[in-house]
Amino acid sequence: MKIFIKSIDQGIWDAIVNEPYTHKHVDNKQVNKHWNLLIGEERRCAQYDCTTKNILTSSLDMNELFRVS
């Protein structure tokens, strides 16, 4: 799976290994930024998070998908 994901884009693998890219700090806490507030590189990296979830859930059979969901 690691090789497959890295072959699509290294940024997608980074999204799996590291925390999601869509965070901002408010009162010393991490909260999600709304998609409309993301610009340039942030938006591209946020798309990696979506792509990651798609790849991982697409690789599961229906029973595993329901269990994970």
Q: Would you state the pLDDT for residue 44?
A: 84
Q: What is the pLDDT tens value at each position of the chain, 69 positions in all?
A: 889 889 998 888 887 887 666 566 677 777 777 778 888 888 888 888 888 888 888 888 989 888 877
Q: Would you state the pLDDT for residue 68?
A: 78
pTM: 0.62
Q: Nearest-CA neighbor of 42 among 34, 53, 31, 30?
A: 34
Q: Would you state the pLDDT for residue 27?
A: 79
What does the DSSP assignment read for 9-63?
-HHHHHHHHS--S-EEEETTEEEEPPGGG--HHHHHHHHHHHHHHHHHHHTS-HH
Q: Would you state the pLDDT for residue 22?
A: 59
